[in-house]
Amino acid sequence: MGSRGGCPRGRVVQCLPVPGRRGRPRCQSPEGGPRKFVSENFTVLHLRASNFVGGPENQILRYAECERSGPISTLIGTFVGLGEGTEFLEAAKRRGLETLALPAGPLGDLRAVWALTRFLGERGVALLSTHGYRADIIGTLAGRLSGVPVVPFLRGWTREDAKVRFYEALGRAFLPLASRVVCLSNRQAERLAGRRFLGAKIRVVVNAVETSWVDGRDRALARQELCRRYGLREDSALVVTAGRLSPEKGTLHFVRAAPQVRKLFTAARFIVFGDGPLRAELEGVARTACPNGEILFAGHVEDFRRLLPGADVLVNASLSEEMPNAVLEAMAAGVPVIATDVGGVAEIAGNHSLILIPTSNPAAIADAVSVLLSDSASAKEQGRAGQQRVREAFSTDRQRAALHALYEELIPGLAGSPKALSPVEGWERLRVPGGSQEKDERETVSALRNTRQLPFISVVVPVRNEEAHLGVVLEDLLRQDYPRHRYEILVVDGGSTDRTAAVIDRHALRSPERVRALPNSHRWSSAGRNVGVRGSRGEIVVFVDGHCRIPSRTLLADTARLFEETGADALARPQPLTMSGNTPFQEVVAHVRATALGHGQGSTIYASDREGFVNPTSSGASYRRSVFGRVGTYDESFDACEDVEFNFRVWKGGLRSFFSPELAVYYQPRASLRKLFAQLVRYGRGRFALVRKHRDALSFSQLVPAGFVAWLVAGGLGAIQSFILREALLATVVIYMALVLGFSAVLGIRHGWRHFFVAPCVFVTIHVALGTGAWLEFGSGFLKMFRGSKPSHPRAPDQTEAGPIPLSATPDASSRLEESPVRVTRDGS
């Protein structure tokens, strides 16, 4: 690692896999002779699987072109086969860059790992940069085998079909093995920074665009060519979009917005640049929306950037994208831009240099386009602001500096020994100007304050015997960047027998206007939640447990902002088990619980890479006050999963819930198998109680643990007498353990050897505990029915006197503000 090699400047050299001994690749010069290496430069290989030259490919080619006169010699690698990769290689050759072709096809990936491993060692590559899931997986394996540092560049995940989702998930599983991980935006980096095995590795290298002054003559020539090529009148209003025609690009919403724009601007014409799997479907929708051909599909156009200055507006309707190249290119050309607020687009926007709109909203697209077409002066001003923005923050010089900072960390001898960086320092120094989180956090509250009065928020914390953790939670809440007179913290104590009451009193005396204690004589969390809501004054109610950590000081500000922006009735959040201070055993539990086998499919509670409207059943935690009037309160017959049951009613009631990783709250797993088993037995009972109350809540993942435990018991007893049952039971155990060991092996590769040995025990504990809990709840309910009582917990004595939950918030009631905090005694009175 760190050896030197390169090619003389100015020579066109191809490194192609030529059949040699054992099929390994050989580097060849254009003359066909063996490649003679020199040792004057450090070699960096950029590897990407590519079907065409799009935005990511152009960025990679720009990386290489920026190194023409420096100490870095850049190679471009791709996978060639079945029409794949040739266009990218040809583009690199035209620029005089070295290239590497690896085999593609059904068996190509295995051969590619071997070929790349040999090439990295023989060529003396100092650093391997990978782009996309195939390159990430193959590159990481080859880098590990050859000892070359590997840096995946995260260009977003399309999730366009089941196959792609699988491979993208597999690619993410390899990220902890990388030397560094490059994000394209600060927002993406912030989302990933909380992951224990990624935070210290994250760096930011934003996309860049070449800027040159575009004058009126350039625009006129580009417009003439656009109109000539596509048969349009020069007085047409030209609205364009560009990108691969796949689901995540949101082109369907652009097409659906077109007829709405034409109601006001009959001269508007719409051009879709790009190709992809949805083209035929989109063309059909376009014929229906605009039957006279006002929507044109141009396909992939080599000289798109030359034509772009002739457009009046560019729309980027992506549903998921980090740093869209089309947006940067349009801004560089002085074309006003409308873009969905996804990924790092808000960072590109800076101080209003483009119009941000919500995703999946044709009406918002139409409104924004109409605004720009109706006010040419404002459109020109926005175009100029966009040009200035990309010159300042997205220049090739800035990108090259960020790349070199990354290279210097990983290539010994390039610029001295690298210094160790903290998780924050690692990507903080590469931030985009005007896009810092600190500024965004300050603006979150100020923006809301400027538009209207901030909503009053009630934070409800139901607790029982949380002496060890509650103080930290209350400190996290008291440090929130939210006006202290606009939120309250209600700690509902279920009769704690430790010093929890003293912890509450200490914080209530310190901040009596914010911290109040309420008694919960019923003791269960379900009743505590109801006590908290009844005693609350907020327009918004947020639930937080007494044993978590809140990493963000803007949790409440983000909650208020997301309710305002999305119009949602409820907000859901991820609750990963990766709290700092976890023991090695707890780390294993956290990783096991985050797998499909350890928690089940369809849940969002451990998701940190998605954002949008969801079924809130597993992760809902914040609500408008009106929700309780529409779906009722928490069912106090539940000792566990009361929040799941309530969220299920929210979902069934047709209320909208928005999930955001910005609201993440961290938890700590149980510290032993015994405690984990007890916790999961309670969850198993709660799951069965949920299905007993709501039959339509039954899912496959809930059936499996109960069925598995029943089969182990029944099959074990039957196996004493029956050979067939004995063989069937043995086959079941073998298949189950193979599945468990397979998941454990993947976790071991990703997170360390300990998972190979501990994870199987954790998986078995989880499944047996959930199944046992389900059968215990079934037996308990059966006994109660046999005795003539309903299978539920009797109401607490004080509940009939508590009255209904008030549906209107009273945050400004001065008498309530002047109340002294209620002291909770040991008996809960």
pLDDT digits (tens, 9 = 90+) for 732-774: 899 999 999 999 999 988 888 888 899 999 999 999 999 998 8
**Which backbone phi and psi does 340 adopt, to 5 degrees?**
-70, 145
- pLDDT, residue 159, reads 78
Domain 14-204 - what CATH class? alpha beta
CB 819 within 8 A of CB 547: no
CB 322 within 8 A of CB 183: yes
Span 710-733, average pLDDT: 88
For residue 511, is pLDDT > 60? yes
**Residue 802 pLDDT level (bands cut at 50, 70, 90):** very low
For residue 10, is pLDDT > 70? no
Whole-Å CA distances, 141 to 85, 114, 115, 116, 175: 21, 9, 11, 9, 11
**Which backbone phi and psi does 183 adopt, to 5 degrees?**
-100, 155
Q: 261: Cβ–Cβ under 8 A, 6 or more apart, which residues?
A: 239, 268, 270, 366, 369, 370, 373
DSSP designation for 242: E
Span 392-417, average pLDDT: 83
Beta pairing partners, 242 = 273
**Residue 810 pLDDT level (bands cut at 50, 70, 90):** low
pTM score, whole prediction: 0.51
Span 344-368, average pLDDT: 91
Span 43-70, average pLDDT: 88
Q: In the chain, what percentage of residues exceed pLDDT 70?
A: 83
Span 217-242, average pLDDT: 94
For residue 825, is pLDDT > 60? no
Q: Work out the angle at residue 774's Cα, subtended by the Cα atoms of residues 770 and 775, and round it to the nearest 5 degrees.
A: 120
Least confident segment among 31-35, 52-56, 688-692, 749-753? 31-35
Annotation: CATH topology of 216-392: Rossmann fold (3.40.50)
For residue 789, is pLDDT > 60? no
CB 177 within 8 A of CB 152: no
Separation CA 401–CA 430 (nearest Å) = 9
For residue 452, is pLDDT > 80? no
**Residue 360 pLDDT level (bands cut at 50, 70, 90):** very high
Side by side, the strands of the sheet bearing 72-80 are 14-15, 98-103, 72-80, 42-48, 125-131, 150-154, 181-183, 202-204
Structural tokens at position 612: 């949008």
- pLDDT, residue 160, reads 75
For residue 451, is pLDDT > 50? no
Structural tokens at position 64: 């290489």
| Per-residue pLDDT reduced to its tens digit, 183-202 | 998 888 888 877 767 878 89
560 against 70, higher pLDDT:
560
**Residue 692 pLDDT level (bands cut at 50, 70, 90):** confident
14-204 and 216-392 share one CATH topology? yes
For the chain, which residues make up each domain, given as ranges?
A: 14-204, 216-392, 672-788
- pLDDT, residue 578, reads 80
Span 307-329, average pLDDT: 94
219 against 316, higher pLDDT:
316
**Residue 13 pLDDT level (bands cut at 50, 70, 90):** very low
- pLDDT, residue 51, reads 84
Least confident segment among 489-498, 623-632, 788-797? 788-797
Counting beta carbons within 10 angstroms of the beta carbon of residue 726, is it exposed (0 to 12), middle (13 to 18) or buried (19 or more)?
A: middle
- pLDDT, residue 441, reads 43
> For tokens 């198993």, what's the residue?
684
Nearest C-alpha neighbor of 636 from the set 686, 710, 588: 686
For residue 582, is pLDDT > 90? no
Map residue 263 onto helix, strand or coil.
Answer: coil
CA atoms within 13 A on the CB side of 93: 15
Map residue 499 onto helix, strand or coil.
Answer: coil
150 against 411, higher pLDDT:
150
- pLDDT, residue 167, reads 87
